[in-house]
Amino acid sequence: MSANSTLSHVGIDSDNESVYDLMSSLEHRKKVDDEFQLVFQKAQEAINKGIQPSLIPEGSSGSYFVYGLEGEIVGVFKPKDEEPFASLNPKWPKFFQRMLCFCCFGRACLIPNTGYLSEAAASIVSEMLQLDVVPTTRIVKLASPSFFYSRFFGHYDVRPKEGSFQLYVNGYESGNTVFARWNYDKNLLSDEEGAKFQLLFQKMCIVDYVIRNTDRHMDNLLVRHVPGEEINLAAIDNGLAFPVRHPECTSRFRSFPFRWSNLPWAQGEFDPVLRRHVLSLLTPQFVHRLCVDLKKLFRHGIASSNYMLVNSQLRVVRGQIWNLRQAILANESPGEMACRDPIIVSRRHRNEQPTTASWDDWFIVKSPSYSKQQLF
């Protein structure tokens, strides 16, 4: 995705400020894209020179570490046809689950085998909100003999595979590891570092809430904490997000609550600077432009017969953004925001772009009732 194909937010204070915000965001996206292209080019050159990706043993899908020319890890590639329940998934447990327990696998609220699109979409949301907690992720094509291909009489063609490519973050550890260290020695985290981490954690909560992530846990919440250096956070593994229906309204037994909602960092009110920043972005124009970007991405990877599912995804996203805005206006904590009743939001005018700051002029809030589609 080039910078020209991405969309940004528009401010609401004045026309000049709107133009400034738009240009600033476009420049930011262009910088991110340029940095991504440099890394991806190095990865392609390394593969051409025989430095092949390696399968990551953890996880349920075919995910690969991709290396640079010096043998360093530069990215994580997740091919479309090696998703958890795709035909070429190299992980045997998921194969047996699909074959023997076909009635109870997966998440009923998600479109199957579109995790790679969700990975890229989460990156878009993080960038457009200018929170930058999701490592840059784009949809690319890569070819390597390390990948799994269909075999005919023992032969296979090494052809390019489409999938998500996420820039690798160096020096990060799982939240479980870091939090255990902090609990063991209370002096490891200074007050200044604690305040910075809470801000980063709140940013992650915002992104997770907007994309309605169903799979955030302490192993895919990565933290970089080196005493004396800047603390940082990376939210990876966003493939199980962007549901077509709220999980709470899909199954009585699997609602997939936000696991971070009970952590201590989710109990305080949102940082004042973060509140002002997010509220300045959350306009009807911003929601429209974000949904245009997401719609292009989601429709890229599914059959035209499933286009209506994309509209369902966007209704959930709009509902989450609506609740996010209301939670911030009410000075709620991330934990309190996570307890809000789920809603879906539809456009009031399908063929018009928002031109005012009034949300009620452009959107319709509905209760997500799926009584006829309820899955148990």
* pLDDT, tens digit (0-9, with 9 covering 90-100), for 188-200: 999 999 999 999 9
Return d(Cα 3, Cα 6) in angstroms, integer: 5
Domain edges within the chain: 3-152+159-366
Locate all alpha helices (DSSP H) within 212-353, ordered by sequence: 272-281, 284-300, 307-329, 334-338
Q: How many C-beta atoms surround the C-beta of residue 162 within 10 A? A: 14
Residue 272, Cβ density class (10 Å: 0-12 exposed, 13-18 middle, ≥19 buried): exposed
Asked if the model's pLDDT at residue 29 lies above 90, the reply is no
Q: What is the DSSP letter of 136?
A: P
The model's pTM: 0.88
Tokens 């169903």, residue?
214
Return d(Cα 2, Cα 293) in angstroms, integer: 12
103-115 tens-digit pLDDT: 555 577 899 889 9
Task: Name which residue leads in pLDDT, 65 or 374.
Answer: 65
Average pLDDT (341-359) is 92
248-271 tens-digit pLDDT: 887 666 778 899 999 999 999 999
What does the pLDDT read at residue 333? 98
Asked if the model's pLDDT at residue 373 lies above 50, the reply is no
What does the pLDDT read at residue 217? 94
Rg, Å, the chain Cα set? 21
Asked if the model's pLDDT at residue 69 lies above 80, the reply is yes
Compute CA distances 67 → 52, 76, 102, 274, 280, whole Å: 7, 9, 36, 35, 39
What does the pLDDT read at residue 219? 94
Supply the DSSP string of 165-232, one letter for each residue. Answer: EEE--TT-EEHHHHHHHHHH-TTSS-HHHHHHHHHHHHHHHHHHHHHT-S---TTSEEEE--TTS--E
Task: Name which residue leads in pLDDT, 20 or 351.
Answer: 351
